[in-house]
Amino acid sequence: MTRQRFSVATFNLYNLQLPGRDMHPGQTPWTQEQYERKVAWTGSRLAELDADIVGLQELWHRDAMVEILAASGLAGRYDLVAEPADGTRIVTAALVRTGLLVGSPEWIQDFPDALRLESTRPMDVQSPAIDVRISGFSRPVLHLSVMLREDQPNTEVYVTHLKSKLPSRIDEEDWFVADPAAFKPHRKAIGSALATIRRTAEAAALRVLLTDVMKTTATPVIVLGDINDGQHSNTLNIVTEQPRYLLGISTGGVDNGLYTAQTLQQFRDTRDVYYTHVFQDLRESLDHVLVSEQFYDLSRERVWLFDGLTIENDHLNEDDHKETGTGDHGIVKVAFRYRPAG
């Protein structure tokens, strides 16, 4: 295989579930008409996207994705990696160009043993001890391997969906029920703090998984997903380990860092218009493509050259995604071409 170009994308499917089937508490199931519009729109976006690897989030049922691929004429183009999507929960999944997938994909639910969020002797003696007990990801992380070229190591791909900014619900907790007058005025603050703690813990767990694969190796790594936080957030900083960007040609690159495609695009552009989600008129960058040094232009270990990023986000102007069949996140695609450093 002497592939010269390839592309990856991340695509939040906005609760892709079969019609009439339950979703989250309080969510109305899709009607047949809403579902058909969703199938048509999603299929058309995937066909136009034509990426080699598509990381998917918010898939409830595998059969819905099978129907989309068939209806859009894409069934023979991709391997669908979505085994746990049985309609009872939302999972991460992927579409992989036929012939690229290597080995058996895995979904990682539990946090790695090497993650411990406990500090009984903080550096600042004025700070109280902290002990965070979270055992696993809200959404399992999908890990798969692909062969982009026979003369290069396999690339490890992770599809992730970290905890959203939506405040965690606390009104059914025993401590809340025991004294609602004390806690009710502070539901949003406490719920938001819990959501942030959970997302931060998930970012740290993902980073531990990545370090085990990347540290002191030449393994190419790509992370696709809805991180639910921005380019310069602490969440992204934990996952990427904040590598340096502005270095001389073929003199940069770090063994354990990840580079955001958003930043790579900013180096090629004079204006940043990157946003993938709109909430209360606030445009945010929540969906990301992160790559190891093998995909970073200025790295001495570069194998693939960044070849541009596109975002489809005009549909975010739609007021009612359920009625139009559109999604509520932008779709990010990043392209690369084979050009080793030196």
Query: In whole angstroms, what is the distance from residue 147 CA to residue 161 CA?
Result: 24
User: What percentage of the chain's residues is helix, strand, coil (to nearest 5)?
Assistant: 25, 30, 40
**How far apart are the C-alpha atoms of 342 and 340, rounded to whole Å?**
6
| 49 SS3 class | helix
Dihedral sign of CA atoms 48, 321, 78, 101 in order: positive
- DSSP secondary-structure letter at 24? S
The predicted pLDDT at position 272 comes to: 63
The confidence score (pLDDT) of residue 189 equals: 97
**Among candidate residues 334, 323, 24, the one with its CA nearest the CA of residue 164:** 24
pLDDT of residue 28: 93
8 Å CB contact between 250 and 342: yes
Radius of gyration of the chain (CA): 21
Element spanning 38, H or E? helix 32-49
Cβ partners under 8 Å of residue 281, min gap 6 = none
* Per-10-residue mean pLDDT, the chain, length 342: 92 96 92 96 96 98 98 96 96 97 97 94 85 95 97 97 93 94 95 96 98 95 94 93 73 84 80 68 82 93 94 79 87 96 84
* pLDDT for residue 121: 84
Contacts 24+ apart (CB under 8 A), 78-84: 78/54, 81/105, 81/142, 81/144, 82/56, 83/107, 84/140
DSSP state of 316: G
Please give the domain boundaries of the chain with CATH numbers for all domains: 5-108+140-168+201-338 (3.60.10.10)
* CB of 332 closer than 8 Å to CB of 288: yes
| pLDDT, position 246 | 66
| Beta bridge partners of residue 159, listed in sequence order | 142, 224
Other residues' Cβ atoms within 10 Å of the Cβ of residue 149: 16
**What pLDDT sits at residue 8?**
98
pLDDT at 270: 61
Residues 166 and 195: beta-carbon distance below 8 Å: yes
pLDDT of 144 reads 98
